[in-house]
Each structure stands twice: as structure tokens, then as C-alpha cells.
């Protein structure tokens, strides 16, 4: 997925300006990090990409399509092309790991055999195939995060967004998670990871976008 | 990661975005649509079973609210069927002008009895009338003190057919027609009891209809409120579903089916209640019927009415759920 922000601004009704004049171009198959202090606008930027929020100025082009032209009814279809991983996992504890991962496929109305095949492929990918029947509550933080990643990629998204995916994890687990993202990127998925773990970001040697008080202050390579 | 080497193969297959095999599954097909509904139907039922007590209570409240108008309807149906079987004759009494001669009165009597809608005509001469009056009223002395017989000739016209509420307008029309005869001074239809009954029944009907509307509204609110709480308790799930691209319709569907189950189970239980109550009152009712030696049979909910009440209750359940859910789901937004 090819994403282009052109002088994008987001002003909340409270008057708070979360983003202003943000421009960048994330090309198809690219991987980048988004850094900045908390409150710098990282989450807002991701919400704009997910169409959870709408920008108040500027233009967001996704594969050349202006997101402003998409109606409310088109939002679900857009979200099915984007996989998201959150720091707080957003897993459902009333169902097994298998059914958590299956959710994006069920929502799209895939047939059960197809769902089972894809869910197992995704769980295999994150190394949790043997735990598919367990409740996510029984897993460690790192494992829960991996379930979240499996759910984000099960639908074969064209864009993978991760908001602080390593927030609660120790360095070793963080590195494992990052390696996973890298693997997805290697097969062509556009990846954007928001993180304030600058040391980890630096080690990954990818493009880094830095936000400060809603403005893009740095856009370039690290190291 | 420890198992990384043997995972690579799977990854290449499953994540490659250029394959676009997902586009096939996201296209519309009837089979897929029906399967989705069937799954939601069973899943929503199983979900009710996960909170059995709360579900049973809601179903019971719905059932009680529905069995009240249902029960009153059965009572009304029985009253109506009793009155239908009251084969009582009614009489139109014609008071002719006192100046009329016997021959003219007899001619009129023959003319009327020849009418299609008249079964028979009873001729009561002035003398007969006087005799009858003396016997029954106890006014002999006053009557005998009068210089002449003040009573007119009277014709008692018995219309054809049994008296029913439906035939009341016909009887009234017959009375009007007879009253218009030149010889007739006054015509009276002796069907006051029937009119009263018709009024009581229409009062009862309106009462039952009004109460039904109120109680159906109550069911709307009960189901709506239960569903709204169910949505609230599954807020996280709704949010995650929105996040992974579920349409509002998809999120709404299980709750609508939940409303369907509340409605139809409530309707079913209400039908059982009415059948049970009918059975319970049937023993004394049959004894009563025996005493009157009437051919009347106690009516209860028949198969058609059970099916109809299930349809209505299912409809009310789904609609109540719809009203509650539509706005609520839209208001749950990702933050």
C-alpha cells in the first residue's frame, strides 16, 4: 500500500492541534518507524490512516485514492486492507486464541475451511500454533502481542500499522517482535511502527519519521 | 525466535499481499450470506445460554407481557362464541293505529308474513290484548272503568333466523321498514339485550386492543433494554470488530438475532401459559356448561393463533433489538 500525506492537519473540537502540516510518502513495500514523545501525534497519525479519525486539513492518498472521498460505508472495506497491532493487544478474553485471530476473516465472511487454514498459517508464523485452543488470558505479554500480530496479518493486509508494539516487553522479546515485522515487510507489506524506544529503532536501520508537537521534524534514515 | 526456520515457508504463502486471494472471499454470494445468518442464529442462541438466568428472566418477562393480551383475547373469543350460540328469537312489536279495522289489520298481517325475512306474524286483537293486560298488570278495575277498550291491535312479527350481533343492523332495517307502513303507529324491536351485549363486547374488544398495544410497547422496551445492556457488556468486542473492518450490519446481526430469540421464546412461553390457563379453567367451565346443557365448547389458542403469536413476538423482538442496537452501535467509536 502506498501512502501519501500532504500537509495534513488534525485539530480536535477541543481546539487542540494534534497534527499540522504533516507531509510524507510511504511507498509500497516500505518499512518505517514513527517516533516522538507521547502526545507528539503518533497515535493520531495512525488513526487517520485507519479512518478512525478524519483529518481537518490536507490530503491523505492511499494508493492514489483520497481518503476524504471515501464514505462512512467504505470504512470497513478500507480497514480490512490494513492490519493493526496495539500496545494493549485488544484481544478478546471470552474466546480462544484461534477465534481471536479468526475475527478479521469472519468479519469478511470467509468460509470456515479457509478461515481455519489462514488462522493456522498466521499462528504458525508467530510461533503459537500449538496454543490455538487456549484462552489468550493464559499467555504471557509477549505471546499476547504475537496473537495480536497474527490477527493483524491473517487477512493478508497491504499495510501493517503497529502502535507501540513492544511497549511492555523486555529487549529480547521486543527484538523478536521487530524481526516478525521485518519478515512481513520482506514479503511486500508496507509497515509503519510507532515507537518511542529510540535505541531499538536505531538498531533496526529503517527510515524514521519523527513527530514533535504535531509537526514532522525529521524524515530520514538512522545511522 | 526459536522455531523460526520452519516458519518461513508458511509466511511466504500466507502473507504475500500480491496474491489477492482474499478478494474472492470478500465478494458477495448468496450461499455465504445464508451461512453467515445460520451461524449467527445458532451462535446468538448459544450466547443466551451463557447467561441462562438473565436470559430466562427476560424471556419470562416477555412471556408474561404477551400472555396478558393473549389471555384476554381468549376470554373475548369465548364470550363471542357463547353469544353466537344464543339462539334466541327476537320480536318486532307493531302497534297499529286504534282507528284501524280488523280487516285492514288482517290484510297487513298477511302481507307482512309473506315477506322473505319474516318467519311468522302473531295477530293480537284489541280484546285479546285487553285480556292479556288484565291478567298481567292488575289494572282490571281501572280498565273496566274506561268507556271503551283503549288498546290498539298489535302484530308480533318474528323475523327469520337466530339473533346474532351481526344481524342486528338487518333487524333494525326490518323494523324501520315495518314502521313505515301506513297502518303502523309504532314499531319496537325487542333486542335491547343484544345491543347492550354488542356494546359490552366492543368495549371489551377495545380494552383488549388498547392493553395489547401497551404491552407490546412494553415488550419493545424490555427487549430493547436487555439488548442495549448486552451491547454495552460486549463493548470491547464491538470495538475490535470495528477495528478489523466489520460493517455495522455485521456487528448488529447477532444482537438482532438475540432479540429474535427473546421474542420467539417469549411468545412460545406465552402460548404455553395461555394453553395451561385454558386447561386449568376448563374443568369448572365444563361443569358449568353441563348445567346449562349447552352445546358450547371452551375455546383456547388454536394452531393458527399460536403461529401468529410466535410471528408477532419474533417481529417485536427483532424490532425492539433493532431500535436499541442501531444507534448504540454507531455511538461506540474507536478512540
Chain centre to alpha carbon of residue B145:
61
Residues forming beta bridges with residue A11, ordered by sequence position: A17
Asked whether A137 and A103 are in contact (CB, 8 A), the reply is: no
Are the C-beta atoms of residues B135 and B129 closer than 8 Å to each other?
A: no
Are A27 and A44 within 8 A, CB to CB?
Answer: no
A79 reaches B (C-beta below 8 A): yes
Contact B160, B117 (CB under 8 A): yes
Mean pLDDT estimate for chain B: 81
Task: Give the Cα-Cα-Cα angle A174, A178, A184 (nearest 5 degrees).
Answer: 150
pLDDT, residue B295, reads 67
Domains for chain A: give ranges and CATH numbers.
Answer: 1-75+191-223 (3.40.50.300)
In chain B, what are the domains? 33-84+198-331 (no CATH), 92-190 (3.30.70.3040)
User: B245, A176: Cβ pair inside 8 Å?
Assistant: no
Q: Does B17 contact A156 at a Cβ distance shorter than 8 Å? A: yes
- In chain A, residues 98-117 whose CB comes closer than 8 Å to chain B: 103-105, 107-111, 114
- How much is the average pLDDT of A83-100? 86
B14: chain A residues, CB-CB within 8 Å: 118, 121-122, 125, 153, 156
- pLDDT tops 50 at residue B93: yes
| β-pair partners for A8 | A22
Residue carrying the nine cell digits 399460536: B306
Q: Which of A78, A105, A183 sits opposite B11 (nearest CB)?
A: A183
Q: Is the pLDDT of residue B260 over 90?
A: yes
**What ipTM, to 2 d.p.?**
0.88
- CB of B109 within 8 A of CB of B121? yes
Verify whether the Cβ–Cβ distance A153 to B14 is below 8 Å. Answer: yes
Calpha distance A50→A60 (Å, rounded) = 11
pLDDT tens for B167-188 read 777 888 888 888 888 888 888 8
Closest-approach residue (CA) in chain A for B40: A106
The terminus-to-terminus CA distance of chain A in angstroms comes to 26
CA distance A82 to A105: 13
In whole angstroms, what is the distance from residue B242 CA to residue A111 CA?
20
Q: Is B5 on the interface with A (CB under 8 A)?
A: no
- Asked if the model's pLDDT at residue B9 lies above 80, the reply is no
Chains A, B: CB pairs < 8 Å = 109
Distance (Å, whole) CA B28 – CA A196: 42
Average pLDDT, stretch A102-112? 87
Among A86-100, B43-57, B83-97, which stretch is predicted with the lowest mean pLDDT?
B83-97
Cβ–Cβ < 8 Å for A108, B22: yes
The string of DSSP codes covering B185-252 is EEEEE--HHHHHHHHHHHHHHHHHHHHHHHHHHHHHHHHHHHHHHHHHHTHHHHHHHHHTT--HHHHH
Going from the C-alpha of B53 to that of each of A192, B44, B317, B334, the distances in angstroms are 47, 16, 19, 32
Mean pLDDT of all residues in B103-109:
88
Burial of B62 (0-12, 13-18, 19+ CB in 10 A): buried
Cell digits for B22?
Answer: 482474499
pLDDT class of B88 with cuts at 50, 70, 90: low
Q: Which residues contact B29 (CB under 8 A, 6 or more apart)?
A: none
Is beta strand A159-163 parallel, antiparallel or unpaired with respect to A82-86?
Answer: parallel
* Pairwise CB contact (< 8 Å): B10 & A125: yes
Q: Cβ separation of A111 and B25 shorter than 8 Å?
A: yes
Q: Nearest residue on chain B to A128, judged by CA atoms?
A: B3
Q: What string of DSSP letters covers chain A?
A: --EEEEEEEEE-TTS-EEEEEEEEEE-TT-EEEEE--TTSSHHHHHHHHHTSS--SEEEEEETTEEGGGS-GGGHHHHHHTEEEEETT----TTS-HHHHHHHHHHHTT--HHHHHHHHHHHHHHTT-GGGTTS-GGGS-HHHHHHHHHHHHHTT--SEEEEESTTTTS-HHHHHHHHHHHHHHHHTT-EEEEE---HHHHHHHT-EEEEEETTEEEEEE---
At residue A216, the pLDDT reads 87
> pLDDT tens-digit profile of B269-316?
999 999 998 889 888 888 887 777 666 777 888 889 899 999 999 999
* Distance in Å, alpha carbon of B26 to nearest chain A alpha carbon: 6
Of A52, A107, A189, the CB nearest to B244: A107
- What are B289's three cell numbers? 356448561
Query: What cell was used for B231?
Result: 451491547
Measure in Å the smallest separation between the Cα of A172 and chain B Cα atoms.
10
Alpha-carbon radius of gyration of chain B: 36
C-alpha cell at B253: 446481526
Question: Contact A79/B240, CB-based, under 8 Å?
Answer: no
CB contact under 8 A, B245 and A107: yes
Collect all residues with Cβ–Cβ distance below 8 Å to B37 and sequence separation of at least 6. B253
Q: Is residue B164 very low, low, confident or very high in pLDDT (cuts 50, 70, 90)? A: low
Nearest CB among B35, B243, B250 relative to A90 is that of B243
A118 part of contact set with chain B, CB < 8 Å:
yes
Phi, then psi, of B90 in degrees rounded to 5: -115, 165
Q: What are the phi and psi torsion angles at A208 (to 5°)?
A: -125, 125
Q: Does position B74 have pLDDT exceeding 70, yes or no? A: yes
pLDDT tens-place string over residues A1-49: 899 999 999 999 888 888 999 999 999 999 999 998 888 888 899 999 9
Q: How many other C-beta atoms are found inside a 10 Å radius of the C-beta of residue A219?
A: 14
Q: Output the pLDDT for position B292.
A: 72
Amino acid at each position: 500500500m502506498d501512502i501519501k500525506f500532504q500537509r495534513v492537519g488534525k485539530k480536535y473540537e477541543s481546539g487542540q492541534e494534534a497534527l499540522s502540516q504533516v507531509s510524507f510518502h510511504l511507498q509500497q513495500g516500505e518499512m518505517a518507524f514513527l517516533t516522538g514523545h507521547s502526545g507528539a501525534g503518533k497515535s493520531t497519525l495512525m488513526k487517520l490512516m485507519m479512518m478512525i479519525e478524519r483529518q481537518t486539513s490536507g490530503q491523505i492518498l492511499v494508493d492514489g485514492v483520497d481518503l476524504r472521498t471515501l464514505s462512512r460505508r467504505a470504512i470497513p472495506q478500507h480497514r480490512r486492507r490494513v492490519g493493526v497491532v496495539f500496545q494493549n493487544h485488544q484481544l478478546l478474553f471470552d474466546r480462544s486464541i484461534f477465534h481471536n485471530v479468526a475475527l478479521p476473516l469472519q468479519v469478511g465472511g470467509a468460509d470456515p475451511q479457509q478461515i481455519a487454514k489462514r488462522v493456522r498459517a498466521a499462528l504458525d508464523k508467530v510461533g503459537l500454533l500449538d496454543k490455538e485452543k487456549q484462552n489468550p488470558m493464559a499467555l504471557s505479554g509477549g505471546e499476547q502481542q504475537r496473537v495480536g500480530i497474527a490477527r493483524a496479518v491473517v487477512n493478508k493486509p497491504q499495510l501493517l500499522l503497529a502502535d507501540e508494539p513492544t511497549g511492555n516487553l523486555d529487549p529480547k522479546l521486543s527484538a523478536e517482535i521487530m524481526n516478525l515485522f521485518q519478515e512481513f515487510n520482506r514479503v511486500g507489506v508496507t509497515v509503519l511502527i510507532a515507537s518511542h524506544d529510540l535505541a531499538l529503532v536505531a538498531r533496526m536501520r529503517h527510515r524514521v519519521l519523527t513527530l514533535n508537537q504535531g509537526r514532522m521534524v525529521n524524515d530520514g534514515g538512522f545511522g | 525466535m526459536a522455531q523460526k526456520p520452519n516458519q518461513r515457508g508458511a509466511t511466504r504463502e500466507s502473507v504475500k499481499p500480491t496474491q489477492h486471494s482474499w478478494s474472492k472471499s470478500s465478494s458477495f454470494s448468496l450461499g455465504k450470506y445464508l451461512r453467515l445468518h445460520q451461524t449467527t442464529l445458532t451462535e446468538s442462541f448459544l450466547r443466551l445460554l451463557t447467561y441462562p438466568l438473565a436470559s430466562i428472566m427476560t424471556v419470562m418477562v416477555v412471556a408474561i407481557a404477551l400472555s396478558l393480551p393473549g389471555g384476554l383475547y381468549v376470554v373475548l373469543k369465548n364470550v363471542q362464541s357463547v353469544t353466537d350460540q344464543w339462539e334466541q328469537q327476537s320480536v318486532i312489536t307493531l302497534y297499529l293505529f286504534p282507528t284501524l279495522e280488523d280487516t285492514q289489520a288482517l290484510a297487513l298481517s298477511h302481507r307482512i308474513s309473506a315477506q322473505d325475512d319474516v318467519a311468522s306474524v302473531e295477530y293480537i286483537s284489541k280484546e285479546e290484548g285487553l285480556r292479556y293486560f288484565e291478567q298481567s298488570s292488575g289494572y282490571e278495575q281501572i280498565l273496566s272503568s274506561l268507556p271503551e277498550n283503549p288498546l290498539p291491535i298489535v302484530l308480533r312479527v318474528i323475523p327469520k333466523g337466530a339473533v346474532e350481533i351481526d344481524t342486528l343492523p338487518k333487524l333494525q332495517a326490518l323494523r324501520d321498514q315495518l314502521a313505515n307502513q301506513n297502518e303502523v303507529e309504532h314499531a319496537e324491536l325487542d333486542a335491547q339485550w343484544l345491543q347492550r351485549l354488542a356494546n359490552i363486547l366492543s368495549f371489551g374488544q377495545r380494552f383488549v386492543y388498547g392493553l395489547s398495544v401497551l404491552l407490546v410497547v412494553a415488550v419493545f422496551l424490555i427487549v430493547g433494554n436487555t439488548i442495549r445492556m448486552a451491547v454495552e457488556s460486549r463493548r470491547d468486542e464491538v470495538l475490535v470488530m470495528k477495528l478489523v473492518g466489520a460493517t455495522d450490519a455485521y456487528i448488529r446481526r447477532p444482537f438482532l438475532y438475540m432479540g429474535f430469540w427473546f421474542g420467539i421464546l417469549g411468545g412460545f412461553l406465552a402460548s404455553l401459559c395461555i394453553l395451561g390457563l385454558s386447561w386449568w379453567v376448563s374443568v369448572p367451565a365444563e361443569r358449568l356448561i353441563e348445567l346449562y346443557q349447552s352445546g358450547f365448547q371452551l375455546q383456547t389458542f388454536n394452531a393458527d393463533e399460536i403461529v401468529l403469536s410466535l410471528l408477532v413476538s419474533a417481529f417485536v423482538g427483532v424490532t425492539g433489538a433493532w431500535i436499541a442496537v442501531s444507534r448504540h452501535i454507531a455511538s461506540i467509536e474507536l478512540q
